Amino acid sequence: MQRRQKPGALEQKREREAQGGAFSTSHSDSRSFFSLSQLVLSAGNLKASPALKHSKTTYFEVEILDVQSKKQICIVDKLPPSSTLLDVKHKFHKACPQWNPSRVGLQLERNGPYLKDSINIQSLAVSSIITLYFTDLGQQVGWTTFFLTEYTGPLLIYLLFYIRLSTIYDQLESKKNFRHPVVHLACFCHCLHYSRHLLETLFVHRLSGGHTPLKNMIKGCAFYWGFTSWIAYYINHPWYTPPSFGHRQVSFAALAFLMCEAGNHFINVALAHQTHSGSKACFPSPTYNPFTWLFLLVSCPNYTYEVGSWISFTVMTQTLPVGIFAFLMVIQMSLWAQKKHKLYLKRCYPEVRRKAAMIPIIF
């Protein structure tokens, strides 16, 4: 009987051990599955979250100092690399409302040039902190306002002298009915010139959204308005003497004046509608219009036609004030043409290198 019981007890013991091992194995498997599920849930998506990507973006801080005292005015922070200097000016205006963005001048160095609004701040950065110097540019006006004011004055001033106000000329002399035809022609040409400028400012020229100091507009108005008053006073004076060569001189000069005005207009239209290739503007090429063929000889034909108009007006009226004004215009236009010609050369226009700036051979 004892020999029979021992195998039974041994079998029961082995059965209990097998059941215990199976239970421990299933229990460890469940624990491993639970741990794996918790790991998956805590890990989430395998892709990087947008927050992590955004955290890698480098932001810039712009420290703005006064150009005279070198004292810190404010710090413009959290600027992304795509920000421009215009964005800096707008944030500077929010921090200091008394400084309008149009009158804020920013420089990398105290004696350096003013930076353009379109410059990207990343191109200025050596580190994450950029130091700029602030200068108050004074009261500013838009370019459209500048040109409209500058050209409207001569148009109205000349008409006031043309109607011969009693406060300008002697009443008895002003009552003379006869006027030489060149007086009426000169009024027509003068009004045509400035009317063209006004219409082109509104509908042709693509003026930038920038500004210019108010003092520049005052200087320009003083120059144009003052010379217009002097010119109109002489031409519309009752004692005005007609040109020496009479009708032939007047007719030839008037025809040249109208041709120069037409050429100036067509050149301005060509400059406004010039084609673009890539990031650099192409130099305008002559078209079927004969007035644009001057592009073959000079790089700034609009200044050539402008000077031609005033020289023709001088010959037509044969007055000293117009001659002095034409001489000053030649000097001013030649300086502008040289500056623009150098800009064309910097843009690597090979066709400009063989051309003059304004007048062939001379300039």
pLDDT at 4: 45
Helix (H, G, I), strand (E, B) or coil at 132: strand
What residue ranges of the chain have pLDDT lower than 70? Answer: 1-57, 172-177, 209, 275-282, 348, 351, 361-363
From 138, 163, 192, the end of a domain falls on: 138
Q: Indicate whether 21 belongs to any domain.
A: no
Residues 271, 328, single domain; the answer is: yes
Find the CATH number of the domain harbouring 74: 3.10.20.90
18-40 burial string, b = 16+ CB within 10 Å, else e? eeeeeeeeeeeeeeeeeeeeeee
Residues 250, 214, single domain; the answer is: no
Residues 194, 164, single domain; the answer is: yes
> Which domain range does residue 340 map to?
243-362
Question: 139 in the Ramachandran plot: left (φ > 0), alpha (ψ -120 to 50) or beta?
Answer: beta
Residues 210, 311, single domain; the answer is: no
Its pTM stands at 0.76
pLDDT at 233: 95
Residues 214, 254, single domain; the answer is: no
Cα 51 to chain center, whole Å? 37
From 138, 167, 189, the end of a domain falls on: 138
Question: 44 in the Ramachandran plot: left (φ > 0), alpha (ψ -120 to 50) or beta?
Answer: left
Residues 145, 132, single domain; the answer is: no
pLDDT at 324: 98
The size of the chain, in residues, is 363
Residues 235, 258, single domain; the answer is: no
Q: Indicate whether 39 belongs to any domain.
A: no
Q: Indicate whether 272 belongs to any domain.
A: yes
- Going by C-alpha positions, the residue among 218, 84, 63, 225 that lies closest to residue 138 is 218
Q: Indicate whether 167 belongs to any domain.
A: yes
User: What is the DSSP-derived secondary structure letter of residue 115?
Assistant: P
Q: At what angle do helices 320-346 and 214-235 cross, to 10 degrees?
A: 140
Beta bridge partners of 213: 140
C-alpha atoms less than 13 angstroms from C-alpha of 268 in its C-beta half-sphere: 21
Q: Indicate whether 130 belongs to any domain.
A: yes
Contact 253, 313 (CB under 8 A): yes
Residues 128, 82, single domain; the answer is: yes
pLDDT at 267: 95
- Going by C-alpha positions, the residue among 64, 58, 56, 61 that lies closest to residue 77 is 61
CA distance 334 to 362: 10
Residues 129, 196, single domain; the answer is: no
Q: Indicate whether 156 belongs to any domain.
A: yes
Look at the block and give the residue holding tokens 């051990």: 17
* 90 CB burial (10 A radius; 0-12, 13-18, 19+): middle
Helix (H, G, I), strand (E, B) or coil at 328: helix
Residues 356, 248, single domain; the answer is: yes
pLDDT at 347: 77
pLDDT at 38: 54
CA distance 301 to 307: 10
Residues 251, 322, single domain; the answer is: yes
Residues 111, 74, single domain; the answer is: yes
pLDDT at 335: 95
- Quick one: CA torsion of 146, 151, 156, 161, rounded to 10 degrees? 130
pLDDT at 132: 94
| Residue 212: its H or E element | strand 211-213
pLDDT at 352: 76
Number of domains in the chain: 3
Q: Indicate whether 6 belongs to any domain.
A: no
Look at the block and give the residue holding tokens 């955290």: 55
Q: Indicate whether 53 belongs to any domain.
A: no
